[in-house]
Structure 1
Amino acid sequence: MTGTLFFLVAMTLTGCGSAIDTGGRKAVTGDVTLDGVPIVEGSIRFEPQSGTTATGAMIVDGKYEIPADKGLLPGSYRVYINALEPVEDNRSADDMMNNPGPPRKELIPAKYNKKSELTADVSEPGPNKLDFLITQ
């Protein structure tokens, strides 16, 4: 009985081991639109203004999500957003690998990717919902 009581108290104090140490990283989510329309498919990348840990996520139907275990440390970031024009291609994966076709056009203006002017701050307390409503 004493062993069982000790086990239950120990599990209560440790939270049953379910807490994940994120190293201070924070979850980041948000919406991304171009001229008011959600980006169907693209990517977003956050590069720290100082430091070395960059991370990113895929944008799907105008939304992205970076979980805390892969998240961002509090601080300032330069943000890069990309989306390529969709391609209707009925070829097999092998055919596309051997002959990828012409390069796809970037739909997002360079001021949001190659020459990004976007910045964002990740805060300690959160939540960190960072929306980007970009325009042509």
Structure 2
Amino acid sequence: MRLFAVTVFMAAVVTLTVSGCGPAADGRVGVSGNVTHRGEPLPSGNIQFVAVDGSQMAGAAIVNGSYALAPEQGVFPGEFTVRVSAASEDTAVPVPVEGEAPGDPSLFAPRQELIPDEYNARSTLSTQITSDGPNTYDVEIP
């Protein structure tokens, strides 16, 4: 019985590993890579892939300088503009004044965008994503 359970487990691992490497059944593909900011891995943030023709977009969280967009949530091959976003860690919240509703958005300290516009809102980054894979795209932000 134990051998059967181990065999089933290993078959499941192999199936999941192989299916994660190629395109999704509908033709979407994944993208992964690393993001550095000032020479260090970006601790947290988001990366977004927007089709140049505006037909599609997808994104992933950046955690400890790495991101992975699985094929199931990925994009169809094509040319993409890449945007990176990361906010300051300053989340200081002033103490509410008596009578004000908790959660009032005006009470929260604004978070400052850490990534320069040419990598974010007015990104000059672009990449070609293919069906051949693997699609690895690293970003170095000075």
| CA deviation after TM superposition for structure 1 residue 87, in Å | 2.5
Alpha-carbon distance in structure 2 between the residues aligned to 1:134 and 1:70: 25
Q: Deviations over 1:29-79 (max 9, x none)?
A: 110001211111101111001241100011111111110011111111001
May I ask how many residue pairs the two structures share in their alignment? 116
TM-score by length of 1: 0.75
Contact 2:27–2:76 at 8 Å: present in 1 too? yes
- 1:110 counterpart = 2:117: yes
Give unpaired runs (5+ residues) of structure 1.
1-14
Question: Runs (4+) of structure 1 moved beyond 2 Å?
Answer: 19-22, 87-91, 97-100
- Secondary structure of the residue aligned to 1:45 is strand
Aligned identity (percent) is: 33
Q: Output aligned runs, 1:34-113, within 5 Å.
A: 34-89=37-92, 95=102, 97-99=103-105, 100-113=107-120
- How far did 1:121 drift? 1.1
CA distance in 2 between counterparts of 1:21 and 1:61 reads 26
* Equivalent position SS for 2:118: helix
Distance 1:26 1:122 in 2: 8
- CA shift, 1:98, in A, is 2.4
TM-score, reference length from structure 2: 0.72
From 28, 31, 34, give the equivalent of 1:31.
Answer: 34
**Structural RMSD (CA):** 2.4
Distance 1:46 1:114, change over 3 A: same
What is the rounded CA distance, in whole Å, between the counterparts of 1:28 and 1:112 in structure 2? 18
Cα distance change of structure 1 residues 48 and 65 upon mapping to structure 2, 3 Å threshold: same
